[in-house]
Structure 1
């Protein structure tokens, strides 16, 4: 039996710690790689037109529904860069990243696909080319993407980022645990981004401009708190950020309920993460046992999935 030639590409999820929404408007943001959830794309030799097999669609790529347009764009961009045809290829995707939850699933798809296609055609792929190609499909998915999702889905270090400036990787020198809770409600990143843009261009923009600036300042201070290994301060900054994001109307009753439950269970801080209006929230705890209490509380409050992520420092009880 002749073995079919295949290549794979991998990526992982991301969690925005601070600065979501503000980053689109030139303020700093902090994103963390989230390897608890991951994406694998496999490209195999096949006969006939390009086919796609993923959880949303299984069939000929040319007939993919419009909702998968960013995936189609990612494939087309990579093939155009490689200067190859899309004939005689079969692509499959396997993912544990929940879609539309602010974990960067669309960027992770594009990163994994691009890596797999370059590997299949035995071409080198540098980080700059990867991010340029992924940004093309992210524009389809999100309208005005910051680029942060793509950089975090493809990298290993936390990133401090200001749009238009190089990503600044820094060590996650924080002895703490992050709890992630999924509301089970689809996040609405594109709509939330557009809603804030309308407020900033409306009749009374100043309070909203001030809110965006405040989110940027909180992200800047959060980086210092991480570098100083100060989970208590980081928790307070997370609480303040959630208040500002609520003012900008990108939270939701489900997110607020999980945030309140986390704080009542002793979390150092809690906030929404990502685009908001659904999706996920995050909370901070000093020890694993405290993190497990918070995790149980947000499950009781309605989280459909939870994860605990050891951020850095030594393992403890």
Structure 2
């Protein structure tokens, strides 16, 4: 079934499709994971963020069926969990509802469900998934799946959806079907990314601007430290932070925390309890850090943004309280070994940290992080480098 000279993920998903369903798919689509350079928990506050797409991606092979059945399989092997390692999950598209799908199938099922709500006639389909985005690492593995499935099903259904439509569609799948109260940052990066650029995203109106960001050209690399501490956006920590932000906006009389300026913080302190105030202070100062990062990138290039990454991590650790000991250690060890700046990335409560590292210090920084984790008795982290890559699209 596989064809010569295909990239490994494309070959893998074709092989999985053939093994499970026989024959060839109608096409193969991919959508990348993302790293958020800066701007965390600002998206659902209608603020600003600066993510970039990465080379790690979800690939889906799909073939339309003449009925209303969806059959799903994946190359991922996770013994004891349903729907992994070649098992086929079968779903009835006419009875899809929250709770009707299991394990990883909630992501493609959620997209089909959301398309149905908007009146797009989704055919039955066979789907195989291969993803190189680590699960639970804070690199948006779930949105990579959803974006790949969304562009594939939209094409098979003949629906001409704009990027803005796809962003809201996948957010609806996450919020209404998966049950994760996420914003629009992750899918926006996956759908809009371009090599050598970060995406400056205005989460109020979805306007986006590509900002040149080429660390390698500046002699730098982006090191990802996956702590292997798993997290889930559907669990309570993320939801409670969002609820606190929404409550604060109501008390402060603004549509969203994006409308609170640094000059408003003294008044906010007087009106809010100390914990809620700290949540607000993180969001307000993080929006400011996004704008300052863009300014520095334009004026001085990537080498100047290290202190902003450090300040962002301190804010997430102390004000938003979404870090964990492993993330804090990764950031501290990387900085001490020569990283120009470091921060946790993603929703928090586990996942990954990123470090901006001079290329000639890459091995030393990696070794220092590994040694620090071993000394602390933490599980060995996964370390790898990423760079800004292209966004979602059809590959075959």
**Bucket of the pairwise TM-score, normalised by the shorter protein:** 0.7 to 0.9
Which secondary structure does the structure 2 equivalent of 1:276 belong to?
Answer: coil
1:91 is displaced (CA, Å) by: 0.9
1:275 is displaced (CA, Å) by: 0.5
- RMSD after superposition: 2.7
Larger Rg: 2
Residue 75 of structure 1: aligned partner = 112
Which secondary structure does the structure 2 equivalent of 1:29 belong to?
Answer: strand
| Equivalences, count | 308
| 1:43 pairs with 2:62 | yes
Write out per-residue CA displacement over residues 28-79 of structure 1, whole angstroms, 9 at most, x where no aligned residue: 21101111x1111111255763211123513202463266434311123346
Q: In structure 2, list runs of 5 or more residues that go unmatched.
A: 1-21, 77-81, 93-99, 248-271, 374-378, 390-396
Write out per-residue CA displacement over residues 3-52 of structure 1, whole angstroms, 9 at most, x where no aligned residue: 545222110010011111133223321101111x1111111255763211
How has the CA–CA distance of structure 1 residues 188 and 249 changed in structure 2, closer, same or farther, with 3 Å as cutoff? farther
| 1:24 pairs with 2:44 | yes
How has the CA–CA distance of structure 1 residues 25 and 306 changed in structure 2, closer, same or farther, with 3 Å as cutoff? same
Stretches of 4+ aligned residues off by more than 6 angstroms: none
| 1:193 pairs with 2:238 | yes
Task: Check whether the contact 2:122–2:153 (CA below 8 A) recurs between aligned residues.
Answer: no
With normalisation by structure 1, the TM-score equals 0.86
Residue 259 of structure 2: aligned partner = none
Residue 362 of structure 2: aligned partner = 291
- The 5 A counterparts of 1:53-92 are 53-54=73-74, 55=76, 57=83, 58-62=88-92, 64-65=101-102, 68-78=105-115, 83-84=120-121, 86-87=123-124, 89-92=125-128
Task: Check whether the contact 2:120–2:159 (CA below 8 A) recurs between aligned residues.
Answer: no
More divergent stretch after superposition (197-206 vs 293-302): 197-206
How has the CA–CA distance of structure 1 residues 65 and 5 changed in structure 2, closer, same or farther, with 3 Å as cutoff? closer
With normalisation by structure 2, the TM-score equals 0.70
| 1:184 pairs with 2:228 | yes
Task: Check whether the contact 2:343–2:354 (CA below 8 A) recurs between aligned residues.
Answer: yes
- The 5 A counterparts of 1:107-256 are 107-121=143-157, 124-140=160-176, 141=178, 143-157=180-194, 158-165=198-205, 166-174=207-215, 175=218, 176-190=220-234, 191-197=236-242, 199-200=244-245, 201=247, 203-204=273-274, 205-247=276-318, 248-256=320-328
Q: In structure 1, list runs of 5 or more residues that go unmatched.
A: 313-317
| 1:308 pairs with 2:357 | no
Task: Check whether the contact 1:189–1:274 (CA below 8 A) recurs between aligned residues.
Answer: no
Task: Check whether the contact 2:180–2:233 (CA below 8 A) recurs between aligned residues.
Answer: no
How has the CA–CA distance of structure 1 residues 50 and 218 changed in structure 2, closer, same or farther, with 3 Å as cutoff? same
More divergent stretch after superposition (146-155 vs 187-196): 187-196
Residue 315 of structure 1: aligned partner = none
1:115 is displaced (CA, Å) by: 1.7
Task: Check whether the contact 2:52–2:388 (CA below 8 A) recurs between aligned residues.
Answer: no
